[in-house]
């Protein structure tokens, strides 16, 4: 006889967005402990279909010894898509890519059916105006310890959010970000971000860019962006870069998750 397995202290609900016209799969992992005075830190995890349970387990296991792991009890939120692999892939290209007047595609995508793209503004509106208020109302959240995590295309979205809506999160965790998208357009957003003198909060905000050493051109892209962010150095923005040895695009996330999550409490 088999039984359905449920994740302890985890809630699951659907949230329909008026901004994207799409219903998202929201999963929330809650600590066992009572909330501290300022509330729990929060990790918002994009591509929740793939990474929510991993992120939940990192926090659950390592928060048992927070003084050594630097990972405190926290709320972990997975934001996922519904459907087949193909449907999810197309939706990711829409939600996580910035709008543009025209798009330049690498050779590997020129004959691919990736579906519509350029919906990042709508998806960000969903996060900022629908999901985050619902989370803040339902749970005891520390408003000054909120992280956004994404990998690949969602890592691109993390960076784009940093450059366009800086104050929304205090911690930006971009794993193997698709900096290549639309002929490296996100580098232009980075330059605009600094030239406009984007205001940061009084407290220091942080961005961590990670990549696997076996990710070919993505290693160089990450290094170029890191160099640019250091070149423009803002005093209240701390930028870190980590290359995971011997890891590729598929294997890198489990190896960097602890390092990424540790940023929230260091």
DSSP output for 2-70: ------TTEEEEEEE-TTTS-EEEEEEE--SSPPPTT-EEEEEEESHHHHHHHHHHHHHHHGGGHHHH-
Query: Which residue out of 128, 238, 249, 258 is catalytically annotated?
Result: 249
Known catalytic membership, residue 178: no
pTM above 0.75, yes or no: yes
Tokens of 183: 């002929």
Is the pLDDT at 260 greater than 60, yes or no? yes
Known catalytic membership, residue 249: yes
Known catalytic membership, residue 50: no
Q: Which top CATH class is 10-262?
A: alpha beta
Whole-angstrom distance, CA of residue 190 vs CA of residue 64? 37
Is the pLDDT at 61 greater than 80, yes or no? yes
Tokens of 94: 């829409």
Query: Which residue out of 152, 154, 176, 178 is catalytically annotated?
Result: 152
Q: How many other CB atoms are found less than 10 A from the CB of residue 102?
A: 6
Tokens of 110: 């020129």
Q: State residue 109's pLDDT score.
A: 84
Whole-angstrom distance, CA of residue 211 vs CA of residue 199? 28
CA-based nearest residue to 49, from 23, 25, 17: 25
Q: State residue 6's pLDDT score.
A: 76
Tokens of 138: 């339902």
Which tops the pLDDT comparison, 1 or 27? 27
Tokens of 93: 């290209």
Residue 247 DSSP one-character state:
-
Is the pLDDT at 266 greater than 70, yes or no? no
Q: Which of 17-31, 87-101, 107-121, 164-178 has the weakest average pLDDT?
A: 107-121
Q: How many other CB atoms are found less than 10 A from the CB of residue 20?
A: 19
Is the pLDDT at 146 greater than 60, yes or no? yes
Is the pLDDT at 4 greater than 80, yes or no? no
Query: Taking a C-beta distance cutoff of 8 angstroms, is the pair 106, 191 a contact?
Result: no
Q: State residue 182's pLDDT score.
A: 96
Is the pLDDT at 199 greater than 70, yes or no? no
pLDDT band at 142 (very low <50, low <70, confident <90, very high): very high
CA-based nearest residue to 38, from 216, 170, 129, 214: 170
Query: Which residue out of 29, 63, 175, 215 is catalytically annotated?
Result: 215
Helices (H), the chain: 48-62, 66-69, 85-95, 120-126, 132-138, 153-164, 181-195, 217-231, 252-262
């Amino acid at each position: 006889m088999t039984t359905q397995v449920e994740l302890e202290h985890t809630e699951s609900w659907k949230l329909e967005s008026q901004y994207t016209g799409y219903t998202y799969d929201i999963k929330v992992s809650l600590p066992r402990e009572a909330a501290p005075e300022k509330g729990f830190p929060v990790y918002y995890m994009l591509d929740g279909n793939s990474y929510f349970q991993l992120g939940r387990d990192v926090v659950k296991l390592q928060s048992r010894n927070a003084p050594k792991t630097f990972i405190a009890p926290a709320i972990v939120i997975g934001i996922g898509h519904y459907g087949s692999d193909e449907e999810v892939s197309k939706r990711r290209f829409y939600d996580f890519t910035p709008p543009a007047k025209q798009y330049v595609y690498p050779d590997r995508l020129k004959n691919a059916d990736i579906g519509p793209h350029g919906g990042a503004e709508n998806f960000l509106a969903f996060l900022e105006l629908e999901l985050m208020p619902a989370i803040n109302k339902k749970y005891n959240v520390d408003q000054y310890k909120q992280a956004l995590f994404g990998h690949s295309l969602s890592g691109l979205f993390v960076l784009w959010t940093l450059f366009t809506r800086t104050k929304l999160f205090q911690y930006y965790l971009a794993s193997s970000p698709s900096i290549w998208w639309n002929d490296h357009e996100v580098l232009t957003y980075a330059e605009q971000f600094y030239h406009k003198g984007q205001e940061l909060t009084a407290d220091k905000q942080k961005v961590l860019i990670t990549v696997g050493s076996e990710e070919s051109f993505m290693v160089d892209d990450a290094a170029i962006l890191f160099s640019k962010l250091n070149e423009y150095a803002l005093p209240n923005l701390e930028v870190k870069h980590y290359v995971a040895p011997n890891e590729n695009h598929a294997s890198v996330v489990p190896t960097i998750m602890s390092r990424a999550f540790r940023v929230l409490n260091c």
